[in-house]
Chains A and B, each alone.
Chain A
Amino acid sequence: MDTLPIVIFLILFPFFLSLACLSTRTIAVRRTAAVPANLVLVGATLLLLSRTPKDPLLFIVEVPLVEHLLPFAEIAVGVLILYLALWSRRTIVALLAGVQLALGLAFEFLFASAAHASHNLFVDRFSILMALIIGILGTLIANYAVGYMAEYHRHYPEVKDRRRFFGFLLYLFLSAMFGLVFSNNLKWIYFFWEITTLCSFFLIGYRNDEPSQESAFLALGINLLGGIAFSAGILYLFHHTGILELDRMVAEGKGYALIPAALLAFAGLAKSAQMPFSSWLTAAMVAPTPVSALLHSSTMVKAGVYLILKVSPLLNGTLAGIMLTFVGGVTFLLASFIAISQSNAKRVLAYSTISTLGLIVMCAGVGTYEAAWSALLLIVFHAVAKSLLFLCVGVVEYKLGSRDIEDMDFLIVRMPKVAAMMNIGLAGMFLAPFGMLISKAVTLRALVDVHPLLGVILAFGGGATLFFYGKWMGKMVTSEPGLQSNEDRISPWEWITMVTLSGLTIAVCLLFPVITHGLIDPYIQGVYGRGPTLERFNLILIVAIMVSLLVVFPAGLLYQAFRKDYRFVGPYLSGGNLERAAFLGAMDQKRPADARNYYLANYFGESRILRIGLFLSSFFIIVMFGGVLS
């Protein structure tokens, strides 16, 4: 079987699923049909993996219908956004939507007759890597959403049940993401890009109350800014060179492609919530948790860095490239600082996502083969571990009635299985021997090879990451005898997804050499002409740590659980212990004993650091455009 049919299937099949979702009124039918549909989607993704072409393939896909319909669809999306903004009286968003629509119309009127791309679709190992993330994680999260959304409406009876619409958006989004990573035609990429923006908008506003509408329009406005830059980039590129394809644009080299490259990178920065645009992602945390896991950590925000990585060879070695590195560096460092001061679990995860994306942007800006290699690693490992974390937080939130880390005391006793999986996810984000840390090690090397100061940014950001994840894990591992575990009423949909993702988090670390050897190394080799090598001995050590943890941890816990030779006492409370968490203090009074985490707000307060980040990153972006214009 050829590769092209699979690619087209991957784009169209989720689209049909989304329509099916919208038109099926019975929940039971939707649920039953979802299982085989999801399996087919995963199977198709794996089939594509097994058909990985040796060299990047470009496809001439000429369907006159699509050629004619696409401009109309694009204009329709623009009009819809404009209508939404006007209808809820958001002047700025409406203004942005108007500008974007005008740019789109300008392209159609000026160049429509001449606009023709030779190759509309393509496949290379990077897009297959992205497709694996979209296909496997996306389906898993969609599967989780079935159970989660049912519970969501039980918890929030005031929210109107629009689950059909929700499913429609989720699968439409998957279709658009597949389209985005397989398109070579810039107009197509742009179209899919806008669809993801729109899906994100509706999903953030799912609750349809005031705060979620605010957040939805904030996200829409900022992504429209990026969309305008994207649109302007296409217009400029086509006007000067007649190029409409991503591969030809990159091959064009510096010159007329430089300004579009900077504009596309700008669009990527907005999509990936880099500073100064980071606020939309933290606001988007009002969305139901599957949305945060799918759009706002593992896939859609990755589309931004995907585009940046694609165009980064053009910016490499220019002032714009250096500025891109700085924007990423500032975002990485400051976002991880801010995460220290947050106690809302989803916000911590959001800031950590922003920070990781900053690191990827940094790698893209540096533009060496090593940096690009580590950027791809970061994308993979982050996607798996972060989506697992979001999904665990989603489940915990229902059981505790809170997403605050301060309420997660004794989670290992109250919800042992979920807490164990959450700990795997957390470890996956910052601990040896898990993937993110391995990626950070290779990133450190890649950055230091360019300039040691870039390594310094990584060192300090890493210290902050260690702190905010460490205290979160610490909060959860506190155990207290005599508490009941409360994990029933978590649906099998949610269990299956979380268990699979926990397994994947471990598996991607054990399979790390296979992933790099099969997909990432050849891609880097193809683009940069050379690939990095890993010290085999260290790799063996890392795998050894992983295996020993996998053996020692369960064995040790089992041994401790059945030991009989302990005498158990209460903790030291500097007074007479009354019950487990209280003691008899001075004046014979009962004093409760409690411990809370440090948030170091005086040092890492959100508003202050955000201001610094806003200023610095805006400055760097201005210089970036100054650099390409001069």
Chain B
Amino acid sequence: MSFLTSLFTADGFLGPFLRIASYVVLAPLVGGLLAGLDRKVTAWMQGRVGPPIIQPFYDVRKLLQKENIAVNRFQNFFVFLFLLFMVFTGSIFFLGAGFLVVVFSFTLACLFFVFGGFSVRSPYGHIGAERELIQMMAYDPMIILVAVGFYLAAGSFETRSIYQAGQNGILIAYLPGILAGYLYILTIKFRKSPFDLSMSHHAHQEIVKGLSTEFSGKALAAIEVAHWYENVLLLGIIYLFFSFHPLIGVAAALGAYFLEVFIDNSYARFKWGLTLQSTWIFTLMAGVSNLVILHYLLTRR
């Protein structure tokens, strides 16, 4: 437990370099296991047995052994940048850097992935990339509002200070609407139905594999691993809300993850229009109203 606590505190027993190292090593393990659990739970919900929990690792290992096939020289470079900047983003988040810097670096990483889709002259890749951009436009305001909410509640954009402020439970008490809005966009970020427009793990999609259509072998493995890093980072933000007790924090993060798996299995895919509209409306209803109430609450004091 003290390990989890020390992840965010400046004077914990983990120095900055050790902290980055532990994220770089542990995040893919956790992310991969979660992906395995996801498939297990999904199978269970559908009345199947499902693959072993470490199946995602087998998948990645197999992908790494495949031949290098590509449509053009530069497409895989973008995937590399996606992975690189995702690791960077997660590292600075767990270092306690400014939350806005984390958000911007995160956006940069995600954009590299989009450009990977664009970089090939492939109709399926393009439509996937376009849809991914629409999804980014849909969730981006809410991520900024999470930052604003943290700032109002903690008085700082620094992740360190946000973590400190969360120690007495103030974040979840002040920001329930922000959390709800964040959970909503988490469905987009986890690429779960109803928002898995741009690409999906399931084969039954009208745009084949969307953004990732033209990637294979090592590049596909890199996408998968980057996605694991991404998921751990996103769940780390959930943890921030509940950081007053490590157990509750981990439970909340896991709970959020399985909530998304449950939603994935109970919704049909939305069209992009509905995705954009509903996300923005929900951002306004949950996130913005929360901020306005909090503002008046804080100024009255």
Select B134's contact among A556, A581, A598, beta carbons within 8 Å: A598
- Does chain A have a CB within 8 A of B172? no
Is B118 in contact with A541, judged by CB distance below 8 angstroms? no
* CA gap between A541 and B97 in the complex, in Å: 8
Interface residues of B in 136-159 (CB under 8 A from A): 136-138, 140-142, 144-145, 147-148, 151-152, 157-158
- Over the window 261-301 of chain B, the binary record of Cβ atoms lying under 8 Å from chain A Cβ atoms (1 yes, 0 no) is 00000000000110011001000000010011011000000
Closest to B294 in A: A452
Chain B residues with a Cβ closer than 8 Å to the other chain, count: 70
Among residues 442 to 469 in chain A, which have CB atoms less than 8 Å away from a CB atom of chain B? 444-445, 448, 451-453, 455-456, 458-460, 462-464, 466-467
- Nearest chain B CB to A126's CB is how many angstroms away? 26
Asked whether, in the complex, the Cβ of A473 is within 8 Å of the Cβ of B101, the reply is no
Within 8 A of B (CB), among A543-578: 545, 548, 552, 556-557, 560-561, 563, 565-574
Beta-carbon contact of A557 and B77 below 8 Å:
yes
With A451-B295, A463-B137 as given contacts, are A552 and B125 in contact (CB-CB < 8 Å)? no
Q: A409-B121, A473-B111, A478-B119 are in contact. List 4 more A-B contacts (CB 8 A).
A: A452-B295, A459-B141, A474-B115, A474-B117
Q: Give every chain B residue within 8 A of A460 (Cβ-Cβ).
A: 141, 280
The residues of B that contact A456 with a CB separation of less than 8 Å are 141, 145, 148, 288, 291
Q: Is the CB of B148 within 8 A of A459?
A: yes
| Complexed CA–CA distance, A128 and B10 (Å) | 41
Q: Does B84 contact A (CB under 8 A)?
A: yes
Q: In this assembly, does A603 line the interface, its C-beta being within 8 Å of a C-beta of chain B?
A: yes
Shortest beta-carbon distance from A296 to chain B in Å: 26
Find the residue from A432, A480, A548, A580 having the highest chain B CB count within 10 A.
A432
Let me know if B230 is at the binding interface, CB within 8 A: no
In the assembled complex, which residues on chain B have CB atoms less than 8 Å from the CB atom of A548?
88
7 nearest interchain CB pairs? A595-B126, A474-B118, A571-B122, A432-B104, A459-B144, A463-B140, A467-B137
Q: Specify which of A448, A538, A563, A571 is in contact with B71 (CB 8 Å cutoff).
A: A571
Complex Cα spacing A464 to B117, Å: 20
Is A43 on the interface with B (CB-CB < 8 A)? no
Stretch at the interface among B62-70, B220-228, B244-252: B62-70
A556 with B80: in contact, given A474-B114, A565-B68, A571-B122 (CB under 8 Å)? Answer: yes
A positions within 8 Å CB-CB of B: 409-410, 431-433, 437, 441, 444-445, 448, 451-453, 455-456, 458-460, 462-464, 466-467, 470-471, 473-475, 477-481, 535, 537-538, 541-542, 545, 548, 552, 556-557, 560-561, 563, 565-574, 580-581, 593-595, 597-598, 600, 602-603
Interface: B105 (CB within 8 A): yes
By a CB distance below 8 angstroms, the chain B residues around A542 are: 101
Does any Cβ of A come within 8 Å of B42's Cβ?
no
A462 and B68: CB pair below 8 A?
no
CB atoms of B148 and A571 under 8 A apart: no
Complex Cα distance, B115 from A481, in Å, reads 17
Contacts of A477 in B (CB 8 A): 78, 115, 118-119
- Does B214 have its Cβ within 8 Å of any Cβ on chain A? yes
Contact B100 A444 (CB under 8 A): yes
CB interface residues, B 70-86, toward A, < 8 Å: 70-78, 80-81, 84
Q: Are A603 and B122 in contact (CB under 8 A)?
A: no
One of A432, A445, A462, A580 near B141 (C-beta < 8 A): A462
| 19 pairs, CB–CB < 8 Å, chain A vs chain B | A431-B108, A431-B111, A441-B101, A452-B152, A471-B133, A474-B115, A474-B118, A477-B78, A478-B118, A478-B126, A479-B121, A537-B98, A538-B100, A567-B70, A569-B69, A569-B70, A580-B121, A598-B133, A600-B276
> Which residues from B are CB-within-8-Å of A453?
288, 291-292
What's the minimum C-beta distance from B66 to chain A, rounded to whole angstroms? 11
Q: Is A466's CB under 8 angstroms from B140's CB? A: yes
Also in contact, A602 and B152, with CB within 8 A (given A463-B140, A566-B73): no
- Determine the residue in chain B with the shortest Cβ distance to A565: B68
Q: Within 8 Å of chain A (Cβ to Cβ): is B208?
A: yes
The closest CB in chain B to the CB of A409 belongs to B121
Question: Is B30 on the interface with A (CB-CB < 8 A)?
Answer: no
| A603–B68 CB distance below 8 A | no
For the complex, give the distance between the alpha carbons of A552 and B71 in Å: 22
In the assembled complex, the Cα of A211 lies from the Cα of B295 at a distance in Å of 50
Least Cβ distance of B21 to chain A in Å?
Answer: 17
**A560→B77 contact, CB < 8 A:** yes
Q: Interface residues of B: mostly helix, strand, loop or mixed?
A: helix
Instruction: Tally inter-chain residue pairs, CB-CB below 8 A.
Output: 198
A563 near B291 with CB under 8 A, answer: no
Given contacts A431-B111, A545-B105, contact A567 B213 (CB under 8 A): no
Q: At the interface, yes or no: B124 with Cβ under 8 Å from chain A?
A: yes
Q: Are A556 and B81 in contact (CB under 8 A)?
A: yes
Asked whether A598 lies within 8 Å of B74 as measured between CB atoms, the reply is: no
Contact across chains for B84 and A552 when beta carbons are under 8 A apart: yes
Asked if A594 meets B123 with Cβ closer than 8 Å, knowing A453-B288, A470-B114, A474-B118, the reply is yes
Residues of the B chain whose Cβ atoms lie less than 8 Å from the Cβ of A563 = 73
Q: Is B196 an interface residue (CB 8 A)?
A: no
A230 CB, min distance to chain B CBs, angstroms: 37
B contact residues around A541 at 8 Å (CB) = 92, 97-98, 101, 105
Partner of A448, one of B108, B129, B137, B148: B148
Instruction: Give chain B residues whose Cβ lies under 8 Å from the Cβ of A462.
Output: 140-141, 144
Cross-chain contact of A444 among B138, B142, B144, B280 (Cβ < 8 A): B144
A458 to B243, CA, bound (A): 28
Q: Does B127 contact A (CB under 8 A)?
A: yes
How far is the CB of A77 from the nearest CB of chain B, in Å? 45
Bound-state CA distance A38–B288 (Å) is 51
The answer to whether A560 touches B105 (Cβ under 8 A) is no
How near does chain A come to B128, taking the closest CB pair, in angstroms?
10
A77 vs B144: C-alpha distance in the bound complex, in angstroms?
Answer: 48
**With A and B bound together, what is the CA distance between A535 and B107 in angstroms?**
21
Assembled-state Cα–Cα distance A462/B72 (Å): 32
Q: A598 — which chain B residues lie within 8 A by C-beta?
A: 130, 133-134, 272
Q: B120 an interface residue at 8 Å Cβ cutoff?
A: yes
Most chain B beta carbons < 10 A, residue from A452, A538, A568, A570: A452
Query: Across the interface, do B104 and A459 meet the contact criterion of CB distance under 8 Å?
Result: no
* Closest-CB distance, A82 to chain B (whole angstroms): 47
A581 neighbours in B (Cβ, 8 Å): 121
A453-B288, A568-B71, A597-B130 are known contacts. Are A441 and B115 too (CB-CB below 8 A)? Answer: no
Q: Is the CB of A556 within 8 A of B273?
A: no
Q: Which residues of B contact A410 (CB under 8 A)?
A: 121
Asked if B77 contacts A448 (CB within 8 A), the reply is no
CB distance from A537 to the nearest CB of B (A): 6
Least Cβ–Cβ distance between A422 and chain B, in angstroms: 14
**B48 nearest CB across to chain A (Å):** 28
User: Smallest distance from the beta carbon of B208 to chain A beta carbons, Å?
Assistant: 7
Knowing A571-B122, A571-B214 are in contact, say whether A480-B141 is a contact too (CB < 8 A).
Answer: no
A572 near B122 with CB under 8 A, answer yes
Q: Which residue of chain A lies nearest to B151 when distances are taken between CB atoms in the complex?
A: A448
Give the docked Cα–Cα distance between A437 and B98 (Å).
Answer: 14
CA distance in complex: A410, B272 (Å): 26
With both chains docked as a complex, state the minimum distance between the C-beta of A583 and any C-beta of chain B, in angstroms. 10
Q: Is the CB of B137 within 8 A of A464?
A: yes
> A445: which B residues are within 8 A, CB to CB?
151, 157
Alpha-carbon gap, A231 to B72, bound state (A) = 61
Q: What are the residues of chain A within 8 A of B80 when measuring CB–CB? A: 556
